[in-house]
Amino acid sequence: MLDVIKLLPDSVANQIAAGEVIQRPASAVKELMENALDAGATQIELVVKDAGKAMIMVVDNGCGMSETDARLCFERHATSKISKAEDLFAIRTMGFRGEALASIAAIAQVELKTRRHEDEVGTRIVNEGSVVKEQSLIPMSPGTTFVIKNLFFNVPARRNFLKSAQAEMRHIVEEFTRVTLMNPEVGFSLVSDGKEVYRLYPGNLKQRIMGLFGNNYEGKLLPVSQEADRVRIHGYIVKAEYAKKTRGEQYFFVNKRFIKHAYLHHAIENAYLEMIPKDSFPGYFLNIEVDPSDIDINIHPTKTEVNFLDVKLIYAVLHAAVRKAIGQHNLSPMIDFEVPADLNDDIGAASSGARPIVFPQIPINPNYNPFTQSRESHRDTWNDFPQHRQAPSGNWRLLYGERTDLPEEHSETETQAKSHSNDKYLQVSQSFILTTVKSGLLLIDQHLAHTRILFEKYLKQLENHDGVSQQELFPQAFTVNANDASLMKELLPALGSLGFVLEQANPTTFMINGTPSDSAGHDAVALLEKILDNYKINRTDLQLDRKLDIAKTMAVQLAIKAQTPLNELEMQNIVDQLFACNVSEVAPNGKKIYIIIGMEELMQKFTVKN
């Protein structure tokens, strides 16, 4: 019998390889733009016709190529960027495989014009289906221009698979965004069918984000900046209140290379904690800088997946970075309480030290070593941090610029008596607390405020396992079905941390021997049912989410309700504790806790219009 195995001709092999790298016009756009960046260009123009199906042109002012290189760049595995295997772990360029141009040339008509700065003339090459059709010397300014025409002209099957011009254009814009975002010092433009879609001037990252997503981003962004031993994270996140209902602006880069990473994405979502409603997504534009030897990008031709050597470290640093950004933001709204000097009983201790302003601590544990953790606990970064969530108790007024030259000692009864007589707080409709601040009126929703306070308290207890319990004189039975019983068992450790003392009496019954001391007066069985219900709805494998879920349910259930009368001292406590929370603005369900009505707004309401 004859041998049946034949080597494929180069042209066919190239077409097959091209399929992996160039799936649609947007892939060619990405490769060409990345090449221009790698060539050190400071200005890159992208022009497309019919969403890139008819033509893609990329013009750069980068280093250009010699005549020989101009011919060679279309060969497979022709690259100037690596030469040996070790180089794969020191990659600082966007490209390195030497596959892109060979792939594009295999399936399109390519015209290349290129000139190095040191050369007097440039080289023009026309390559069609991997065959050089023309070559000549031409006058041109330094840099490189690639014109790609009739993509997939020789692979009709692929051409037919392309989507509508609108859909293909969306892909192009997305690639353009990814490439331009983390290179703000480079100018870019995108022209589609003769219309300018983007003109991005060189600038900083914030200006680039605004150039791409609109000037209204100016006030929406929070800077993120965190440097640890082997990783640096910089960029912007979008403030929680601008979270979107769709996964919109979520951009992760590693060494400026766009990546997708569900695990690291989770680090960010968790850092926003309860500030974003469940069905909304936070926006971010973050670059993670690591040593190239700490990542392996040689995984997939389209290269949006990256393997980190130590992904848990990056998770922890990322989580901390975003927490810090959010924490600093939440300190910034200036609320100047007009609290009489003699009410500042809690300032004494803090004012005697030299710490006028307490910023939230950066929650990085220098001893953190992901490899020494148990599998569960290192996914749960909450555990890995020391008490970073410890809010500065009671000295929140210092944060808001209150005077610190107050007498140090107050007897508690004296202060309380005064606070009672002072009528600083007024309850409205038994549901809101009204008080004055320098800039106007502060109106707080008592239920939401208390929910926030308890929520943070329970989170701490879940971390520290130090919930206080109260013994039940007559233990009640909590009976569930077999399915729920196994869920209950999953919840037992967390419930124990909060102060529940539960004992399984038989496969489906738990005896409630003790309850959290906060829950006095509440029906323990109803509370457990609620926790179990919510746990079932939001079921998740992640320890951290589980804790959030339980803390939220407990807080909502046990917080004082609307229509509850409060005395002056109770109101004062709520206000004090609210502003000692890590997040004071929003309740765990994302609702606003308070509003400030400014003096100006108030005055306007009294203005008579003639």
**Type of residue found at 236:** Y
Q: Who contacts 83 (Cβ-Cβ below 8 Å, separation ≥6)?
A: none
| Minimal distance, residue 151 CB to Mg ion, in Å | 17
Residue 256 interacts with ligand ADP (CB under 6 A)?
no
Please choose which of Mg ion, ligand ADP, none residue 130 contacts, taking the beta carbon within 5 to 8 angstroms, the exact cut-off set by kind: none
Separation between Cα atoms, residue 192 and residue 437, nearest integer Å: 53
Residues forming contacts to Mg ion in the complex (CB under 5 A) are 35, 95, 100
**Closest Cα partner for 510 from 534, 497, 529?**
529
Q: Who contacts 509 (Cβ-Cβ below 8 Å, separation ≥6)?
A: 477, 478, 479, 480
| Minimal distance, residue 141 CB to ligand ADP, in Å | 13
Please choose which of ligand ADP, Mg ion, none residue 48 contacts, taking the beta carbon within 5 to 8 angstroms, the exact cut-off set by kind: none
Please choose which of Mg ion, ligand ADP, none residue 427 contacts, taking the beta carbon within 5 to 8 angstroms, the exact cut-off set by kind: none
| Minimal distance, residue 186 CB to ligand ADP, in Å | 13
Residue whose token pair is 């410890």? 390
Residue 43 interacts with ligand ADP (CB under 6 A)?
no
Residue 454 interacts with ligand ADP (CB under 6 A)?
no
Q: Where are the beta strands (DSSP E) in 129-217?
A: 131-138, 143-149, 187-192, 195-200
Are β-strands 307-308 and 295-296 bridged in parallel, bridged antiparallel, or unpaired?
A: antiparallel
Query: Dihedral, CA atoms, 78, 83, 89, 95, nearest 10 degrees?
Result: -20
Q: Who contacts 290 (Cβ-Cβ below 8 Å, separation ≥6)?
A: 230, 231, 232, 254, 255, 308, 314
* From 90-98, 125-133, 341-349, 362-370, span contacting ligand ADP (CB under 6 A): 90-98
Please choose which of Mg ion, ligand ADP, none residue 78 contacts, taking the beta carbon within 5 to 8 angstroms, the exact cut-off set by kind: ligand ADP
Query: Dihedral, CA atoms, 190, 196, 201, 207, nearest 10 degrees?
Result: -90
Looking at the Cβ atoms of 99 and 249, the one nearer to ligand ADP is 99
Residue 100 interacts with ligand ADP (CB under 6 A)?
yes
Choose which of 95, 282, 363, 516 interacts with ligand ADP (CB under 6 A): 95
| Minimal distance, residue 83 CB to ligand ADP, in Å | 11
Residue 508 interacts with ligand ADP (CB under 6 A)?
no
Choose which of 24, 30, 53, 97 interacts with ligand ADP (CB under 6 A): 97
Choose which of 22, 24, 25, 96 interacts with ligand ADP (CB under 6 A): 96
| Minimal distance, residue 301 CB to Mg ion, in Å | 11
| Minimal distance, residue 147 CB to ligand ADP, in Å | 12
| Minimal distance, residue 558 CB to ligand ADP, in Å | 59
CB-CB contact of 342 with 348 (8 Å) = no
| Minimal distance, residue 102 CB to ligand ADP, in Å | 6
Phi-psi sector, 273: left (phi>0), alpha (psi -120 to 50), beta:
left
Closest residue by beta carbon to ligand ADP: 95
Residue 175 interacts with ligand ADP (CB under 6 A)?
no
Looking at the Cβ atoms of 100 and 306, the one nearer to ligand ADP is 100
Separation between Cα atoms, residue 177 and residue 169, nearest integer Å: 12
Please choose which of Mg ion, ligand ADP, none residue 571 contacts, taking the beta carbon within 5 to 8 angstroms, the exact cut-off set by kind: none
Please choose which of Mg ion, ligand ADP, none residue 329 contacts, taking the beta carbon within 5 to 8 angstroms, the exact cut-off set by kind: none
CB-CB contact of 222 with 239 (8 Å) = yes
CB-CB contact of 154 with 185 (8 Å) = no
Choose which of 23, 42, 80, 476 interacts with ligand ADP (CB under 6 A): 80
Choose which of 65, 339, 347, 448 interacts with ligand ADP (CB under 6 A): 65
- 85: DSSP letter: G
Residue 257 interacts with ligand ADP (CB under 6 A)?
no
Closest residue by beta carbon to Mg ion: 95
Please choose which of Mg ion, ligand ADP, none residue 36 contacts, taking the beta carbon within 5 to 8 angstroms, the exact cut-off set by kind: ligand ADP
Looking at the Cβ atoms of 127 and 553, the one nearer to Mg ion is 127
**Type of residue found at 186:** V
Choose which of 55, 57, 63, 222 interacts with ligand ADP (CB under 6 A): 63
| Minimal distance, residue 236 CB to ligand ADP, in Å | 29
* From 94-102, 236-244, 344-352, 520-528, span contacting ligand ADP (CB under 6 A): 94-102
Q: Say how many C-beta atoms besides its own lie within 10 A of residue 539's C-beta.
A: 12
Residue 98 interacts with ligand ADP (CB under 6 A)?
yes
Residue whose token pair is 């010092």? 185
Looking at the Cβ atoms of 117 and 561, the one nearer to ligand ADP is 117
**Closest Cα partner for 421 from 337, 363, 343?**
343
Q: Who contacts 466 (Cβ-Cβ below 8 Å, separation ≥6)?
A: 460, 497
Q: Say how many C-beta atoms besides its own lie within 10 A of residue 55's C-beta.
A: 18
Residue whose token pair is 């013994």? 471
Residue 101 interacts with ligand ADP (CB under 6 A)?
yes
Residue 47 interacts with ligand ADP (CB under 6 A)?
no
Choose which of 13, 17, 78, 501 interacts with ligand ADP (CB under 6 A): 78
b/e sequence 110-146, b meaning 16+ C-beta within 10 Å? bbbbbbbeebeebbbbbbbbbeeeeeeeeebebbbbb
Residue 35 interacts with ligand ADP (CB under 6 A)?
yes
Q: How many residues bind ligand ADP (CB under 6 A)?
A: 24
| Minimal distance, residue 95 CB to ligand ADP, in Å | 2
Strand ranges across the sheet with 109-115: 131-138, 122-128, 109-115, 143-149, 55-60, 43-49, 187-192, 195-200
Any idea how long the chain is? 610
Looking at the Cβ atoms of 95 and 363, the one nearer to ligand ADP is 95
Residue 39 interacts with ligand ADP (CB under 6 A)?
yes
* From 72-80, 397-405, 424-432, 580-588, span contacting ligand ADP (CB under 6 A): 72-80
Q: Which residues pair with 253 in a beta bridge?
A: 258, 287
Choose which of 22, 29, 31, 311 interacts with ligand ADP (CB under 6 A): 31
Q: Who contacts 594 (Cβ-Cβ below 8 Å, separation ≥6)?
A: 442, 443, 444, 445, 449, 578, 584, 585
Residue 183 interacts with ligand ADP (CB under 6 A)?
no
Q: Using CB under 6 A, list all residues that contact ligand ADP.
A: 31, 35-36, 38-39, 60, 62-65, 73, 78-81, 95-102, 144
